Structure 1
Amino acid sequence: MAEIVIKDLRKDFGDFTAVQASSFKIEDGEFFMLLGPSGCGKTTTLRMIAGLELPTSGEIWIDGEEVSQKPASARDIAFVFQMFALYPHMNVRKNISYPLVSQGMPRARVREKVAEVARILGIEDILDRPVGGLSGGDRQRVALGRAIVRDPKAFMMDEPLGALDAEFREHMAEELRALHDRMGATTVYVTHDQLEAMQMGDKIVVMNHGVIEQFGTPQDIYDKPATLFVADFIGSPAMNFLKFTGQVEAGAVEVAMHRHRFMIPEMREAFDGDMVFGVRPEHVRLSDAGDFRGEIVASEYLGTTQIVTLKTPGGRLKARIPSDQVARTGETVALGFDPATVTLFDSQSGRALRSDLNEGVLGHG
């Protein structure tokens, strides 16, 4: 397998810039997610790594070789698409073996390789069936098999589970991650589904409008969002945002917001102006004591927890609390926040203000 290094990658389509100044490294054997909304540049980035699109500028290194201007055929990359891209006139066995037959591999070796891949994917019983009558999950396994059988340096996967229904998609995500762990393959995976990215990825790049907003582990991206976009895009419900105007000094451990003072992580930079106080719903405490209060306007029961919506002086806020905690609509309660879970953002630029919590996180600019 292979390490992949991206340096200052850019792609222009006429006057439109799809990807700009992208740099990151994918470690050998890593399951790497390119995450973002439609049109953010994630698929274009994947296609450039695979050689299906050539970059306008920048460098792509695969297994120590600079391949930016080389065609896909010279990169030893396997691609898995959302729509499977199988050959409908061939059965499962022939679909999987096609890349090897095209390379002129001896028939006995082809049979061995196909049998090995079928065993890994659990599709030995359908090898002689036509692909047209298969379920979506089995067709996806066949598409994966055709990619795996080549033993490529890396796998490129463009929303491979997007055509499956929600329940089976979750099951296939677990299977795909387990398959990756068994093979130790370098995998680059495009998705718009933040739950899928958090569930499967070792590292995540979050993109928006062709720009990398943040790069890190799922936990770092969730706990230490580098921008307002990341904080809003990751998490369900998303992070709460309370807007205010104020001033913080370098070294400050509290902030004044809406005539109240709140503890925050120690700030590494001073700031004066419009800010956003960010805290995730599970880090909001409801109690009887305290002077920052909110009115409960709705409650959503989710089994072990409930999502409570409150109206506060800074705007609406959601709290995730135990389902057995009493939360009556119309009641006014005090609100508290663990300072270690708070992130302050510059309202204008959207970037997180540096603190003990987020110091060193990529994407802060």
Structure 2
Amino acid sequence: MAEIVIRNLRKEFGDFTAVQSSSFKIEDGEFFMLLGPSGCGKTTTLRMIAGLELPTSGEIYIDGEEVGQRPASQRDIAFVFQMFALYPHMNVRKNISYPLVSQGMPKHQVAEKVAEVARILGIEKILDRPVGGLSGGDRQRVALGRAIVRDPKAFMMDEPLGALDAEFREHMAEELRALHDRMGATTVYVTHDQLEAMQMGDKIVVMNHGVIEQFGTPQDIYDKPATMFVADFIGSPPMNFLRFHGEVHAGASKVMMHHEELDVPRLMEPFEGDMVFGIRPEHITLNDSGSYRGEVLAAEYLGTTQIVTLKTASGELKARIPSDQPVRAGEFVGLEFNGSTVTLFDNQSGRALRSELNEGVLAHG
């Protein structure tokens, strides 16, 4: 397998810039997610790593070798796409063995490799069946088998579970992550589904409009978002944003928001202007002793928890609280915020203000 290093990668299509000066490192054996909305540049980035698109500028290193201007055939990369791309006139065995047969591998070695891959994927019983009659999940396993059988340096996966229904997609995500762990393969995986990225990835790059918004572990990206875009894109419900104008000095651990003093992580730099107080729904407590007040607009029951929508002086927010805590639409309640989990943003740039919560993340993100 291989380490992949991206340096100042850029891709232009005429006047349109799809990817802007991206840099990141994928460790050997890592399950790496490229995450973002449609049109953000994630698939273009994957295609450049794979050699299906050549970059306008920048460098791509695979296993220490610069391959940025080499075609896909010279990069030892295997692909898995959303639409399976199987050969309908071949059975499962022949689909999986096709890359090896094309390379001229002896028949006995091909048979051994196919048997090994089928055992890993649990598809021994369908090897001689035509692919046309298979379920979506089995067809995806066959597509994975055809990629795995080559023992490539890295796997490139472009929304491979996107065509499956929601319940089965979650099951296949678990299978795919377990398969990755058994093989120790370097995998680059494109998705627009933040839950999929958080569930499967070792590291995540979040992209928007061709720009990397943040690069880090799922936990860091969730707990310490570098931008308002990341905070809004990751999480369900997403982070709450309460806007206010104020001034804070370096070392401050409180802010004044609409005449209420609220705890925040210690700030590393001074700031004055329009700010955004960001807080996750699960870090809000409804408590009559809270001085910051909100009106209950609605409550959504979710089993062990409920999502309560409240109207405050700074705007609406959502709180995730225990389902057995009574709330009524129209009542006013006190709100308490877990200050150690708050992220302050510059409202104009959308960037997080540096604090003791996110100092290391922003330095590397």
Class of the TM-score when normalised by the shorter of the 2 chains: over 0.9
Three-state SS of the structure 2 residue aligned to 1:204 is: strand
1:352 touches 1:364 (CA, 8 Å); kept in 2?
no
RMSD between superposed Cα atoms in Å: 0.8
Three-state SS of the structure 1 residue aligned to 2:220 is: helix
Deviations 1:178-213 (A, max 9, x none): 000000000000000000000000000000000000
Structure 1 position 363, deviation (Å): 7.3
1:206 touches 1:230 (CA, 8 Å); kept in 2?
yes
Three-state SS of the structure 1 residue aligned to 2:308 is: strand
2:197 touches 2:204 (CA, 8 Å); kept in 1?
yes
1:227 touches 1:351 (CA, 8 Å); kept in 2?
yes
Counterpart of 1:250 in structure 2 is 250
Deviations 1:265-309 (A, max 9, x none): 000011100010000000001001132100100000000000000
Measure, in 1, the Cα distance between the counterparts of 2:291 and 2:188: 49
Measure, in 2, the Cα distance between the counterparts of 1:362 and 1:149: 40
Measure, in 1, the Cα distance between the counterparts of 2:199 and 2:169: 12
Counterpart of 2:325 in structure 1 is 325
Structure 1 position 151, deviation (Å): 0.1
2:239 touches 2:279 (CA, 8 Å); kept in 1?
yes
Counterpart of 1:132 in structure 2 is 132
1:18 aligns with 2:22: no
Measure, in 2, the Cα distance between the counterparts of 1:95 and 1:263: 60
2:279 touches 2:342 (CA, 8 Å); kept in 1?
yes
Counterpart of 1:142 in structure 2 is 142
Distance 1:111 1:236, change over 3 A: same
1:123 aligns with 2:123: yes
Measure, in 2, the Cα distance between the counterparts of 1:169 and 1:209: 27
Measure, in 2, the Cα distance between the counterparts of 1:102 and 1:7: 34
1:215 touches 1:362 (CA, 8 Å); kept in 2?
no
Alignment of 1:186-225 (within 5 A): 186-225=186-225
Measure, in 2, the Cα distance between the counterparts of 1:312 and 1:68: 52
1:237 alignment partner AA: P
Structure 1 position 68, deviation (Å): 0.2
Measure, in 2, the Cα distance between the counterparts of 1:257 and 1:301: 30
Counterpart of 2:312 in structure 1 is 312
Measure, in 1, the Cα distance between the counterparts of 2:162 and 2:41: 17
Number of aligned residue pairs: 365
Counterpart of 1:29 in structure 2 is 29
Structure 1 position 238, deviation (Å): 0.3
Measure, in 2, the Cα distance between the counterparts of 1:259 and 1:280: 22
2:354 touches 2:362 (CA, 8 Å); kept in 1?
no
Measure, in 2, the Cα distance between the counterparts of 1:290 and 1:165: 43
Measure, in 2, the Cα distance between the counterparts of 1:288 and 1:317: 17
Structure 1 position 329, deviation (Å): 1.1
1:100 aligns with 2:100: yes
Measure, in 1, the Cα distance between the counterparts of 2:360 and 2:181: 29
Counterpart of 2:168 in structure 1 is 168
Counterpart of 1:82 in structure 2 is 82
2:185 alignment partner AA: A
1:226 touches 1:363 (CA, 8 Å); kept in 2?
no
Q: Give TM-score scaled by structure 1 length.
A: 0.99
Three-state SS of the structure 2 residue aligned to 1:147 is: helix
Structure 1 runs (4+) deviating above 2 angstroms are 362-365
Counterpart of 2:294 in structure 1 is 294
Measure, in 1, the Cα distance between the counterparts of 2:69 and 2:313: 55
In structure 2, list runs of 5 or more residues that go unmatched.
none
Structure 1 position 360, deviation (Å): 2.0
The percent of aligned pairs where both chains have the same amino acid is: 84
Counterpart of 1:233 in structure 2 is 233
Counterpart of 1:347 in structure 2 is 347
Deviations 1:116-160 (A, max 9, x none): 000000000000000000000000000000000000000000000
2:207 touches 2:214 (CA, 8 Å); kept in 1?
yes
1:88 touches 1:132 (CA, 8 Å); kept in 2?
yes
